[in-house]
Amino acid sequence: MQNNRPPSASILGLAGLLPQLLCLVAVFDDDTRYIALSAAFLYAAVIFSFLGGLWWGLAVTNPKAPQWVYGIAVVPSLLAVVSGIPWMIGTTWPGPSLALLGIALIAALWIDFRLNRLGMMPVWMLRLRIILSTGLGLTTLALAAL
């Protein structure tokens, strides 16, 4: 597997942290607070779902992929939807939902490490995933705490 990170992967990956960082700034203005929290939740949920698609894609391109990868690849989308249920039914939101997604984004690195050990994820991708999941996860947790 290729171990040289394409420059566009770094640039675009890091740019993917900007929406959550903007939400972190906007949350301090009373006029934009709820919009920022809503946008932060939606963005974290979408990106978490995207990770499942990434894992699925790695599995379908590798004939030796273990079957558990397909099962774990659907978990992010399901968890993203479930985390929105409190909002949908009008209970406490978005703090707990944002916290759940923040923790899940960071915990997802465990799967990335497993995929790397199986030879399904190149080292450069794992390194980028560490930066992106940690950055997005911590920013999402910070928003949950505010």
Query: Helices (H), strands (E): how many in the chain?
Result: 8, 0
Does residue 98 contact residue 126 with C-beta atoms inside 8 Å? no
Q: How far apart are CA 109 and CA 58, in angstroms?
A: 15
pLDDT of residue 2: 53
Q: For residue 83, which of 93, 73, 74 has the smallest C-alpha distance?
A: 93
- What does the pLDDT look like over 64-81, one tens digit per residue? 999 999 999 999 999 999
pTM: 0.91
Contacts (Cβ under 8 Å, ≥6 apart) of 122? 1, 2, 3, 116
Q: For residue 112, which of 134, 92, 90, 95 has the smallest C-alpha distance?
A: 134
Amino acid identity of residue 30, one-letter, is D
Query: Which residues in the chain come in under a pLDDT of 70?
Result: 1-3
pLDDT of residue 5: 79
Q: For residue 133, which of 115, 2, 27 has the smallest C-alpha distance?
A: 115
